[in-house]
C-alpha cells in the first residue's frame, strides 16, 4: 500500500517514512501541499499523512481539494497537528480530514493509525469491487430487459393498420422496460374482426411474462375457436371463460382484466365481453360518444366467475377507444387521477379525425397531466374504427 507523506520538516518525513516502510508499505514523500496533491493524483495511494502547516497551501486546502476531486477512490487523510490546536482540528474535520496525530510523531501510535487506515481502505476497496460487480450485473439485466421489451413489442400489432375493413391505431408506453399490457387485432373471417386488450395486475417481469403468455396463446385460430359457436353466433365471453379456466389457480394471485370483442361487418354489430377492463368509449361521426359495458369480473381470480356477452350497433365511421387503467389512474402532481371523464372528453374532441388521432391525443394529454414525470403504470390506448362495409 502506498502512503503519501506531506511535511515540510525533513526530519518528520524521514521518521514517518521509516516507520511506514517497516510496515511493508511504500512511502511517497512530498515537501509541500502542491507536491502532495500531485502524488495523490499520479500514484495509487489511498492514504495521506499530511502536516497542517506547510508552505504554499496548508493541510486544510490540501484536504478540500482532494474532497472536491473525483479520483475514483477514497483518500484516507491523517492530519498532523501540534498540541492545543483544537480550533484547527475543527476546521480540518469540516474540510474532510479522517484522523489526527500530534507532533512529534510516536512510532507505535503511527503504526496503529496506519494499520487502522489500511483496514478502512481495504474495506472501501472491497465495497467498490462489489459495487462494480453490481453495476455490471445491473447493466446486463437492463440489456436483457431491453431485449425482452423489444420481443414483447413484436407480439403487439403494428401501431397503425387495417384488417377486414377496420382501421386501427395504438399507443403503448410501458412504465418500465417490460409491460403487463397486451392487445391484438385479428382477422377471423371475411366479415368478422376480433380484438382484445389485456392488463395484468402488478408490474415488472412477472406481469410481463403473464401478458406474453396470453399474447402467445391468443392467435386468430384460438380466438375464433372460442368465440364463434357452431351456428356462427359471436361469443366473446367464451374467450374469457377459457382463459379463466387456464389461468385460474386455487393458490394463485395472478389475474388480469380484459376487454374482447368481434365486429361483424355484414351486420354492423359489435359483440363484446368486459372482464374488469376499464370501460371503453364508442364514438359516432356526429360527435356523440357512449361508454360500453358495466365492469365484469377479472380473469384468473375465481374458477366460478361468469362472463357475459353484449352487443351494440356499430356503424361505418364509428370508433371504439380502449384505454388501460394506466391512463385513467395516472395522477398529476396534486394526486388527482386523470379519470374517465377526461378520457371521454379527449375522445369526443377528436371525433372526425384520423383513427390515429385518438392514441396521440391521450398520450399527449397524459404527458401534460404528469408534467413530464414517468408513468407509474403501463399505458395502452387502442382505437378501432369501422371504416368500410364489406
Q: Residue 234 gets which letter from DSSP?
A: B
Give dist(CA 217, CA 223) in Å, integer: 9
What confidence score (pLDDT) does residue 158 get? 73
What confidence score (pLDDT) does residue 390 get? 46
Residues of the chain with pLDDT under 70: 145, 148-149, 151-153, 159, 176-178, 230-232, 252, 388-390
Domains of the chain and any CATH numbers: 2-129 (3.40.50.2300), 156-386 (3.60.40.10)
What confidence score (pLDDT) does residue 287 get? 78
Question: CB-based contacts of 319: which residues, under 8 Å, 6+ apart?
Answer: 282, 283, 351, 355, 358, 383, 384, 385, 386
pLDDT digits (tens, 9 = 90+) for 110-165: 999 899 988 988 888 888 889 888 888 888 877 776 776 676 667 777 767 888 88
For the entire predicted model, the pTM comes to 0.67
Helices 357-369, 339-349: axis angle to 10 degrees equals: 140
Dihedral class, residue 130 (left if φ above 0, else alpha if ψ from -120 to 50, else beta): alpha
Closest CA to 19 of 51, 49, 44, 58: 49
Residue 114 grid coordinates: 496506519
Paired strand residues for 258? 198, 276
Q: Are 132 and 113 in contact (CB under 8 A)?
A: no
Sheet with 76-81, strands from edge to edge, namely 26-30, 2-6, 47-51, 76-81, 99-102
Which residue do the cell numbers 408490474 mark?
203
Amino acid at each position: 500500500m502506498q502512503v503519501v507523506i506531506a511535511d515540510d520538516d525533513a526530519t518528520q518525513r524521514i521518521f514517518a517514512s521509516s516507520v511506514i516502510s517497516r510496515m511493508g508499505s511504500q512511502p511517497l514523500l512530498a515537501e509541500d501541499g502542491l507536491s502532495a496533491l500531485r502524488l495523490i493524483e499520479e500514484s495509487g495511494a489511498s492514504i495521506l499523512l499530511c502536516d497542517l502547516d506547510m508552505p504554499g497551501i496548508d493541510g486544510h486546502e490540501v484536504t478540500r481539494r482532494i474532497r472536491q476531486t473525483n479520483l475514483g477512490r477514497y483518500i484516507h487523510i491523517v492530519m498532523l497537528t501540534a498540541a492545543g490546536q483544537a480550533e484547527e482540528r475543527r476546521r480540518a474535520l469540516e474540510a474532510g480530514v479522517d484522523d489526527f496525530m500530534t507532533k512529534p510523531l510516536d512510532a507505535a501510535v503511527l503504526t496503529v493509525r496506519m494499520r487502522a487506515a489500511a483496514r478502512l481502505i481495504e474495506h472501501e476497496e472491497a465495497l467498490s469491487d462489489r459495487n462494480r460487480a453490481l453495476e455490471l450485473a445491473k447493466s446486463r439485466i437492463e440489456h436483457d430487459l431491453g431485449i425482452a421489451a423489444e420481443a414483447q413489442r413484436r407480439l403487439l400489432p403494428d401501431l397503425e393498420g387495417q384488417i377486414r375493413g377496420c382501421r386501427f391505431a395504438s399507443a403503448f408506453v410501458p412504465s418500465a422496460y417490460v409491460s403487463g399490457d397486451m392487445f391484438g387485432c385479428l382477422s377471423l373471417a371475411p366479415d368478422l374482426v376480433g380484438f382484445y386488450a389485456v392488463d395484468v395486475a402488478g408490474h415488472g417481469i412477472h406481469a410481463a411474462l403473464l401478458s406474453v403468455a396470453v399474447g402467445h396463446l391468443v392467435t386468430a385460430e384460438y380466438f375464433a375457436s372460442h368465440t364463434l359457436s357452431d351456428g356462427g353466433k359471436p361469443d366473446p365471453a367464451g374467450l374469457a371463460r377459457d382463459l379463466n379456466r387456464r389461468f385460474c389457480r386455487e393458490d394463485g394471485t395472478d389475474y388480469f382484466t380484459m376487454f374482447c370483442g368481434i365486429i361483424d361487418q355484414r351486420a354492423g354489430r359489435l359483440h363484446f365481453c368486459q372482464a374488469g377492463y376499464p370501460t371503453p368509449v364508442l364514438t359516432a361521426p356526429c360527435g356523440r360518444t357512449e361508454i360500453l359495458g358495466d365492469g365484469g369480473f377479472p380473469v384468473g381470480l375465481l374458477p366460478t366467475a361468469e362472463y357475459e356477452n353484449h352487443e351494440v350497433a356499430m356503424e361505418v365511421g364509428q370508433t371504439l377507444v380502449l384505454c388501460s387503467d394506466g391512463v385513467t389512474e395516472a395522477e398529476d402532481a396534486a394526486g388527482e387521477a386523470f379519470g374517465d371523464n377526461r378520457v371521454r372528453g379527449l375522445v369526443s374532441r377528436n371525433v372526425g379525425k384520423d383513427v390515429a388521432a385518438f392514441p396521440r391525443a391521450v398520450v399527449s394529454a397524459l404527458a401534460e397531466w404528469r408534467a413530464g414525470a414517468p408513468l407509474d403504470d403501463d399505458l395502452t390506448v387502442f382505437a378501432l374504427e369501422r371504416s368500410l362495409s364489406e
